Structure 1
């Protein structure tokens, strides 16, 4: 394993940068806490300043991780207001997310 190794991968149509040992917040993944997960859609891998770019994805490359927790973000408030019209609408939303700890990056 190289020290400066990182990968850019896709999870649910969003891109994330993965370093070994880093914790990443992704959109909710339907797996239980403690389960292992693999990401196969790797866009780019950097190994000691040698960059490999996929067209569109790299073959035989995997980012492995472990699901740490399933949580919700802080509540955001959505307020619609029109002055002098007696109109006010409030709504709240809490987005669910999954914390994944990256354990290894494999490049073949």
Structure 2
């Protein structure tokens, strides 16, 4: 059984017991979350899509703040002396899917 869930503006394909990284959520470690915006549910071959879906995905926050590797954006124009360096680290929240009901 799997579901496609919309979390923080992004779609994720989730299964029970799966651990995944989602965009940073305002939740503490150990908090229980419910995601009601379920777009698709596959229950042993029977698909429910759109308004037919009556499922809720329940998850637990494992780690409230995880940072990705640093990404560097470097711009340079040769022979002009122009160099610009920007960098960032994307922030995530690690959650574990408990149930799809």
TM-score normalized with structure 1 length: 0.89
Q: Deviations over 1:16-69 (max 9, x none)?
A: 0110010111100000011000100000000101110014x733x100000011
Q: Determine the structure 1 residue equivalent to 2:14.
A: 18
Backbone CA RMSD of aligned residues: 1.1
Runs of 4 or more above 6 Å deviation: none
Ranges in structure 1 where 5+ consecutive residues have no aligned partner: none
The answer (yes or no) to whether the contact 1:27–1:97 under 8 Å persists in 2 is yes
Number of equivalent positions: 100
1:46 has 2:42 as partner: yes
The alpha carbon displacement at 1:91 in A equals: 1.3
Q: Determine the structure 2 residue equivalent to 1:66.
A: 60
Q: Determine the structure 1 residue equivalent to 2:29.
A: 33
TM-score normalized with structure 2 length: 0.94
Distance 1:78 1:85 in 2: 18
The answer (yes or no) to whether the contact 1:41–1:58 under 8 Å persists in 2 is no
Q: Secondary structure at the match of 1:26?
A: strand
